[in-house]
Structure 1
């Protein structure tokens, strides 16, 4: 396995705040994805990042909706 410095980097922004669905509002990963991150393959990490991207997109309000 590659050293951590050569693997897919964590999206963690050190601003953890979980919503009611156990999704971090800092990085948009689920609690399960966060807990599995260090053991996850790069392929799985990429999937976690895509899941987070989709969550962020779904939860982000358009500016004109404010």
Structure 2
């Protein structure tokens, strides 16, 4: 991370409960991702956020609008 780059903020929404797959129902991070977050660089954090988004879509928590023709 460069000196001028700010840290990517945590996606935590203070709804901390794990599902049967040990994924947080609030932020969609795994236990390992939550534990490691403070030691991740911004590139890794962005990768985790992308995974969280995909998990949320797979669980029907995010609705995607179709692209306009």
**Same fold, TM-score > 0.5, yes or no:** yes
* Corresponding residue for residue 42 of structure 2: 42
1:21-56, Cα deviation, whole Å (9 max, x unpaired): 000000001111000000001000000000000000
Tell me the TM-score normalised to structure 1 length: 0.82
* TM superposition outliers: structure 1 runs of 4+ over 2 Å: none
Structure in which a larger fraction of residues adopt helix? 1
Superposed, which structure 2 residues align to 1:1-66 within 5 Å?
6-60=6-60
CA RMSD of aligned residues (A): 2.0
Q: Which runs of 5+ in 1 are unaligned?
A: none
Tell me the TM-score normalised to structure 2 length: 0.79
Q: How far apart, CA to CA, are the structure 2 residues paired with 1:38 and 1:31?
A: 13
Paired residues, number: 60
Q: Which runs of 5+ in 2 are unaligned?
A: 63-69
